[in-house]
Structure 1
Amino acid sequence: MDYERLIDEETWAFIRRTAESYPDDAVELSIEDQRRVYDTMCQDFRQPRPAGVETQDRAADGVPVRIYSAGQPTRTVIYFHGGGFVVGGLESHDDVCAELCAQTGYRVVAVDYRLCPEHVHPAQFDDCWSAANWAANEFGDPLILAGDSAGGNLAAAVSHYARGRLDGILGQVLIYPGLGGDRSQGSYQEHAQAPLLTLDEIRFYETVRCAGDPPQGDPTYAPLQDSDYSNLPPTVVVTADCDPLRDDGQIYCSRINAAGGQAHWINEFGLVHGYLRARTAVKRAADSFERISVAIEALGQGIWSYD
């Protein structure tokens, strides 16, 4: 793959800066060291919270959450962070959540779900499901589910499981999610050696996510394992073109549309996995973050502008 042609210089600078604190062989470190270097990297990119955004740390039926608000919100975004189910937390995506709050005017609830390998599947899903139910009961607002990478997986898993169990989900926005696609074809092979996320790294994260073999036919683990894509909320999936996970988004949207739902796939040319951290330095990433924010705000208002 000719990444020198596909990726512009701004994005290469972001990739190099990331590597300074999060090396290519990070998955070979101990879990403790992986979390240390990931936290260091996130801190290096962290932006100040926008003025007017207030936060409160609480427990959502035992699950730690951070609530962002500005003014009098009438919608609640539940945000699930990325990090391969192994790293990340309330601090790693604090600025992203604060900016989404400021740009949409919605309340944002960031979920600090338990991590692998100390807590294997379905612990992460269970925490996210508990937090979504808590937020619905606590605030009484309609919900929008959102998340990046592993968090995109969890947002979709909650959407699937919520059918017939939790009302009031207005939409979901999934950012370069890993949804459990076929690793032997498509973007998994085309971008197996992509900058910032490789196929081998995806395989590593899967090995620590389960106690034993990965489950089959379990959409709380991999939403693309579901057999029913009907009655899902309006869905926007945003992927990075230079990412092994890219095709998961396209396939997921096509299945929802085939089942009579509303789903739109946005593929960001020349971007790589994890580009949310590049939104203040890379124009392509900034433009994409604007599209993500607009999608969340529109779904919260019941607006579908992708037909």
Structure 2
Amino acid sequence: MTKHDPKDYSWLPADVLAFIAKTDAAYPPDAVNFTIAEQRAFYDKMCAAFAPPHPEGLRAQDLSLNGVPCRRYTPTAPREGVTVLYFHGGGFVVGGLHSHDSICAELAEGAQATLISVDYRLVPEHKHPAAYDDCIAVAEAVAGPKILVGDSAGANLAASVAATRDDIVGQVLIYGGFGRDLSLPSFTRHAFAPGLTLADIEFYADLRYAKGRPEHDVTSVPMDAEDFSVYPPTALFSAECDPLASESVEFAARLAEAGVPVTFTEEPGLIHGYLRARTMADGARRSFENITTALRDMVTKASDQ
């Protein structure tokens, strides 16, 4: 077997392979074949296995904003004048405040920004646009300029919110899905990638909508935007071995063509969900540092204005 075999990822770095093995031990690669309750239990177990303690001095408080459960992270020296909103990944089906708790804590402390994690409603119990509506409700409840951060499904939500509000001053989007074109190269090249497969993506998409995906809806497909210049400065991060990778490439190109300040980084040798690998894989740790730096730069610029 060679590196070009679409089902062989044995060429990945040893620390990434160890991350995959630890992930698979808690969250089966065929988890979509289990019940929703079982998938959520698997996901919670997996996330707990990759959850280091909060940075010393950081404070976390649960609260409700416009009826949406949230968790606010206050770092040791928060910059004033801007708030970060975090939308978690999980295919719109799994995850919550608990799943991304340590990620949010470290980002808040690293960027020295007050960060609010949003516990939006999940499918299949709450179809689109419930998750988007919850994210908008929190954005409305938080005064002043905001920077959005999201991974995977959360990156999709962040971009949709950014397209429909004028008080978003930046966004950091991590291995997200932004369009509807499954002919893009990565969907074929990495259809069987560890961490997320094309079949997984199709499963989540089928669950998200009550009557099928709408033909044109920027609240669910950010690249449906008629005018990409509405987007704020953006930092995009993708994983090389991810069926969604090409969507970040395409989204970055659209933003650049519209004159939006944008940076794009494709992380070599990493897979979807690599934020959890930051404590055990060198590439993931470096990427998390780059993500934190991108967020800190946005926070600094916003707070100085």
Give TM-score scaled by structure 2 length. Answer: 0.94
Map of 1:42 onto structure 2: 47
Select the residue among 53, 61, 65 that pairs with 1:60.
Answer: 65
User: CA separation in 1, counterparts of 2:223 and 2:188?
Assistant: 18
**What is the CA distance between 1:186 and its match in structure 2?**
1.0
Paired letter, 2:129: P
Q: Give, as a single letter, the amino acid of the residue that structure 2 aligns with 1:66.
A: R
- What does the per-residue CA deviation read over 1:27-69, in whole Å, with 9 as the maximum and x for residues that have no partner? 0000010000000000111110010110111111000000000
1:174 counterpart residue number: 173
1:23 and 2:28 matched: yes
SS in 2 for 1:230: helix
Aligned to 1:186: 185
Unaligned runs of 5+ in 2: none
Matched with 2:153 is 150
Partner of 1:114: 121
User: After superposition, where does 1:113-262 map in structure 2 within 5 Å?
Assistant: 113-135=120-142, 137=143, 140=144, 142-162=145-165, 166-167=166-167, 169-262=168-261
CA contact 1:216–1:225 (8 Å) conserved in 2: no
For 1:176, the aligned partner's letter is: Y
- Contact 2:79–2:300 under 8 Å retained in 1: no
State the alpha-carbon separation in 1 of the partners of residues 11 and 152 from structure 2. 21
2:102 maps to what in 1?
95
SS across alignment from 2:229 = coil
Once residues 207 and 177 of structure 2 are traced to their aligned partners in structure 1, the CA distance between those partners, rounded to angstroms, is: 15
Q: Which amino acid aligns with 1:188?
A: F
Structure 1 SS opposite 2:127:
coil
Q: Following the alignment from structure 2 to structure 1, what is the Cα–Cα distance between the partners of residues 159 and 103?
A: 19
The gaps in structure 1 that reach 5 residues or longer are: none
Does the 8 A contact of 2:236 with 2:248 survive in 1? yes
Confirm or deny: 8 A CA contact 2:179 2:223 kept in the other structure. yes
> CA shift at 1:183, angstroms?
1.0
Return the alpha-carbon distance in structure 2 between the equivalents of residues 214 and 39 of structure 1: 28
Deviation of 1:5 (Å): 6.2
SS at match of 1:45: coil
* C-alpha deviation, 1:152, in angstroms: 0.3
> In percent, how many aligned pairs have the same letter?
46
Note if contact 2:184-2:246 (Cα within 8 Å) is conserved in structure 1: no
AA of the residue aligned to 1:7: L
Residues in 2 aligned to 1:231 and 1:24: alpha-carbon distance in whole angstroms: 38
2:162, 2:231 within 8 Å by CA — same for their partners in 1?
yes
Q: Structure 2 CA distance, aligned partners of 1:20 and 1:72?
A: 38
